Amino acid sequence: MVPAAILTCGKAYPILIMSPIAFVVSLACSLLAQTASSQPGDRDEDASPPVPARPAALIPGLEEPYIDGTFGFSIQPPPGWQVVPMRKQDKNELVLLRLVQILPDGRFSEISVRQTSLPQRQPMNDLLKQRASELELQFSNAKIHSQQVQPIAGRPGGSLTASYWRENREHLRVEALVDAGRRQCIRLIWVGPLELRADSEAMFARVVASFQLLRDQVTEQELRAALQAGQGWMESLTAKKLHAALLEDELLRITHSGKTIGFIRVQQVAEPFEKREGVRVRERGWTFEPDGRIRRIQNSTFLSDDLKYERWRTSITTLVPRRSDAPQTLEVVLEEGLRTDRYLLSNQCYDILAPAVENPSLTLPKTFLPRALVRMMPRLVDDPAKKQRLGFTYFDHRKADLVLRVVDFHGPVDSIPEGAVVTGSSRVFQIDEREGLASNPSELFVDDKGRTVLARVGKLTLTPTTAKEMEEMFLSRVTAAESAMTELEAQANEAMQGRFGRKP
Which of residues 155, 190, 213 is at a domain's end?
A: 213
CATH number of the domain at 68, please: 3.40.1000.10
Q: How crowded is the C-beta side of 396, counted as CA atoms within 13 Å?
A: 24
In this predicted structure, the answer to whether residue 9 has a pLDDT above a threshold of 70 is no
> Which pLDDT band holds residue 367 (cuts at 50, 70, 90)?
very high
Q: Do 135 and 99 belong together in one domain?
A: yes
The answer to whether position 295 is within a domain reads: yes
- 40: in domain: no
Higher pLDDT, 131 or 53: 131
Query: Which residues have a Cβ under 8 Å from the Cβ of 93 and sit 6 or more positions away?
Result: 37, 114, 115, 116, 187
Average confidence (pLDDT) over 77-94: 87
Most confident of 12-21, 278-287, 414-423: 278-287
pLDDT of residue 51: 47
- Mean pLDDT within 285-294: 92
* SS3 state at 485: helix
* Separation CA 173–CA 477 (nearest Å): 44
Query: Is the domain of 207 the same as that of 225?
Result: no
**Residue 208 and residue 223 share a domain:** no
Q: Which 3 state secondary structure label does DSSP give 10?
A: coil
pLDDT tens per residue, range 93-140: 889 999 999 888 888 899 999 998 887 788 899 889 998 998 988 888
* 493 assigned to some structural domain: no
pLDDT at 69 over 80: no
> What is the mean predicted confidence (pLDDT) over 404-411?
93
* Residue 210 φ then ψ, to 5°: -80, -15
Say how far residue 113 (Cα) sits from the centre of its chain: 16
pLDDT level of residue 236 (50, 70, 90 thresholds): very high
Q: Which of 213, 247, 277 is the last residue of a domain?
A: 213
How many angstroms separate the CA atoms of 258 and 277, rounded? 42
How confident is the model at residue 439, as a pLDDT? 65
Helices (H), 340-449: 371-380
Q: Where are the beta strands (DSSP E) in 91-220?
A: 93-102, 108-117, 143-149, 157-166, 169-181, 184-193, 212-213
- In this structure, are 242 and 343 located in the same domain? yes
Q: Is 417:410 a contact under the CB 8 Å cutoff? A: no
pLDDT in tens, 422-447: 988 889 999 998 876 656 778 999 99
Query: For residue 467, what are the CA distances in angstroms to 67, 173, 251, 405, 470?
Result: 34, 52, 7, 32, 5
Give pLDDT, residue 166: 86
Task: Note the pLDDT of residue 486.
Answer: 92
Q: Determine the pLDDT at residue 139.
A: 87
DSSP string across 48-60: PPPBPSS-S---T
Same domain? For 209 and 224 the reply is no
For the cut 70, the answer to whether the pLDDT of residue 483 exceeds it is yes
pTM reported for the whole predicted model:
0.74
Q: What is the pLDDT of residue 44?
A: 45
Percent of the chain past pLDDT 90, that is, above it, reads: 56
| pLDDT at 502 exceeding the cut of 80 | no
Say if 376 falls within a structural domain: yes
Does 37 map to a domain? no
User: What percentage of the chain reaches a pLDDT higher than 70?
Assistant: 85
Per-position DSSP letters for 230-277, written without gaps between them: HHHHHHT--HHHHHHT---EEEEEEEETTEEEEEEEEEEEE--BTTB-
Q: Give first-to-last CA distance, the chain, whole Å.
A: 35
What is the rounded CA–CA span in Å between residue 443 and residue 433?
7
* 214 close to 73: Cβ distance less than 8 angstroms: yes
Give the pLDDT score at 438: 59
Tell me the pLDDT of the chain averaged across its residues.
84
The band of 181, judged by pLDDT with boundaries at 50, 70 and 90, is confident
Claim to verify: residue 128 and residue 233 sit in the same structural domain? no
Range of weakest confidence among 25-29, 78-82, 94-98, 245-249? 25-29
Could you tell me if 399 and 325 lie in one domain?
A: yes
> Are residues 155 and 272 part of one domain?
no
Which class for 353: exposed (0-12), middle (13-18), buried (19 or more C-beta within 10 A)? middle
Judge if 207 and 316 occupy the same domain.
no
What ranges make up the beta strands (E) of 422-496? 429-435, 442-446, 452-457, 460-464
Domain boundary residue among 213, 242, 272? 213
Residue 279 included in any domain? yes
Q: Are 167 and 107 in contact (CB under 8 A)?
A: no
Binned at pLDDT 50, 70 and 90, residue 175 comes out as very high
User: Is residue 490 in some structural domain?
Assistant: no
What is the model's pLDDT at position 234?
97
Return the closest-CA partner of residue 419 out of 439, 443, 387, 385: 443
Q: State the pLDDT at residue 437.
A: 64
Looking at the fold, whether 225 and 198 belong to one and the same domain comes out as no
Q: Which domain holds residue 359?
A: 7-25+219-464
Cβ-count burial 169-194 (b if 16+ within 10 Å, e if not): eebbbbbbbbbbbebbbbbbbbbbbe
pLDDT score for 3: 34
Residues 309 and 403 in one domain: yes
Residues 133 and 259 in one domain: no
Over residues 258-268, the pLDDT tens digits come to: 999 999 999 99
Number of helices and strands in the chain (H, E): 8, 25
- Tally of domains in the chain: 2
Q: How would residue 4 be classed by pLDDT, with cut points 50, 70 and 90?
A: very low
Report pLDDT digits (tens) over 306-353. Answer: 999 999 999 999 999 988 777 888 888 999 999 999 999 999 998 777
pLDDT in tens, 133-162: 989 888 888 899 999 999 999 899 999 999
- pLDDT at residue number 28: 29
Query: In this model, does residue 374 exceed pLDDT 70?
Result: yes
Q: Which of 42-46, 272-276, 284-288, 343-347 has the lowest mean pLDDT?
A: 42-46
Mean pLDDT of 411-426: 92
Is 488 part of a structural domain of the chain?
Answer: no
Is the pLDDT reported for residue 356 higher than 90?
Answer: no
Question: How many CB atoms sit inside 10 A of residue 32's CB?
Answer: 17
Nearest in space to 406 (alpha carbons), one of 385, 394, 389? 389
